[in-house]
């Protein structure tokens, strides 16, 4: 074989091997890059979930505590008999409308959390998963007809009320989503028929709570205990502290 032919063959062989090595290296680089991107994305999800939990931890805790405390005062401390016919129109309205408000406020914060949490992987962060599970129990307690008692709301109604409670407020970071305060809530009850229509039945049912025994208020007892579980999760990093109305009330446990 002529030398120039042999050299050409060897050059071609070297070029082919070089192409194969380059292609394999490029493939491996792509695989490694993809794996790194996936790990980064998973870490970002975890960080986002943790940030989300911390961002909503306080307002959700405050709203859950307000609702849990109100349920305890209504069911165990005689709040309704004391104020519903006290002769002061302001107090009489307050005990009804604020009871409805603390329920609506809780649903508002839950709706805000749901709108963010839907973008996260279900297993992205343990706290978020636990939080979602307990919140789902409160939804079920409010919606089910297997529990006796007032203030039943189908899941769609719960979400609708949550949406109605959302507003915008100014913060150092700009406009942010927030939940209506009690003063604005009362103003809308007085001036907006569409808004008021969503709360008419709830407002009418609050006075009836005092006329039912524990069995007749099963829903409220169970909701109270569901909220205690939620508060245990939200407060688990804090030092235990005494709190009024932290004993369980449910007549039946699911």
Averaged pLDDT, 34-44: 59
Task: Identify any residues that bridge with 176 across adjacent strands, giving them in sequence order.
Answer: 169
As a whole-number percent, the residues of the chain with pLDDT over 70 amount to 69
Among 28-32, 123-127, 129-133, the range scoring the smallest mean pLDDT is: 123-127
Six-digit token string for 58: 């306080």
The larger pLDDT score, comparing residue 42 to residue 177, is at 177
Compute the average pLDDT of residues 109-137. Answer: 72
Tens digits of residue pLDDT in 135-162: 999 999 999 999 999 999 999 999 999 9
Q: Average of pLDDT values for 76-88?
A: 95
Distance between CA atoms of residues 111 and 109, nearest Å: 5
Q: SS3 for 123?
A: coil
**Predicted pLDDT of residue 55:** 75
Task: Label residue 103 exposed, middle or buried (CB < 10 Å: 0-12, 13-18, 19+).
Answer: buried
Tokens of 70: 């109100």
Band of pLDDT at residue 171, cut at 50, 70 and 90: confident
Average pLDDT over residues 173-183: 91
Q: How much is the pLDDT for 85?
A: 92
pLDDT at 234: 87
Among 71-85, 128-142, 149-163, 212-226, the least confident range? 128-142
Q: How far apart are CA 111 and CA 163, in angstroms?
A: 7
- Tell me, what DSSP letter sits at residue 2? -
Q: Nearest 5 degrees, angle CA 50-CA 160-CA 71? A: 75
pLDDT band at 17 (very low <50, low <70, confident <90, very high): low
**pLDDT bracket for residue 41 (50, 70, 90):** low
pLDDT band at 121 (very low <50, low <70, confident <90, very high): very low
Q: pLDDT exceeding 90 applies to what percent of the chain?
A: 57
Query: Is the distance from CB of 232 to CB of 61 less than 8 angstroms?
Result: no
Q: Which segment of 105-114, 189-198, 203-212, 237-246 scores lowest on mean pLDDT? A: 237-246
């Amino acid at each position: 074989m002529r030398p120039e032919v042999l050299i050409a063959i060897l050059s071609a062989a070297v070029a082919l091997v070089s192409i194969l090595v380059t292609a394999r290296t490029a493939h491996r680089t792509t695989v490694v890059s993809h794996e790194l991107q996936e790990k980064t994305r998973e870490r970002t999800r975890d960080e986002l979930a943790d940030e989300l939990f911390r961002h909503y931890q306080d307002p959700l805790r405050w709203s859950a505590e307000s609702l849990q405390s109100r349920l305890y005062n209504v069911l165990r401390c005689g709040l309704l008999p004391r104020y519903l016919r006290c002769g002061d129109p302001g107090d009489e309205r307050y005990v009804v409308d604020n009871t409805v408000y603390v329920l609506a406020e809780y649903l508002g914060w839950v709706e805000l959390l749901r709108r963010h949490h839907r973008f996260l992987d279900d297993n992205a962060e343990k706290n978020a998963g636990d939080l979602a599970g307990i919140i789902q129990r409160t939804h079920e307690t409010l919606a089910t007809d297997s529990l006796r008692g007032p203030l039943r709301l189908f899941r769609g109604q719960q979400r609708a009320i949550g949406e109605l409670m959302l507003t915008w407020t100014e913060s150092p970071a700009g406009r942010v989503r927030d939940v209506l305060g009690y003063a604005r809530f009362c103003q809308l009850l007085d001036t907006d028929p569409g808004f008021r229509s969503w709360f008419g039945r709830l407002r009418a049912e609050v006075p009836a709570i005092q006329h039912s025994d524990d069995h007749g208020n099963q829903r409220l007892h169970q909701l109270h205990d569901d909220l205690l579980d939620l508060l245990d999760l939200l407060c688990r990093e804090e030092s235990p502290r005494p709190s009024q109305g932290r004993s369980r009330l449910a007549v039946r446990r699911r």
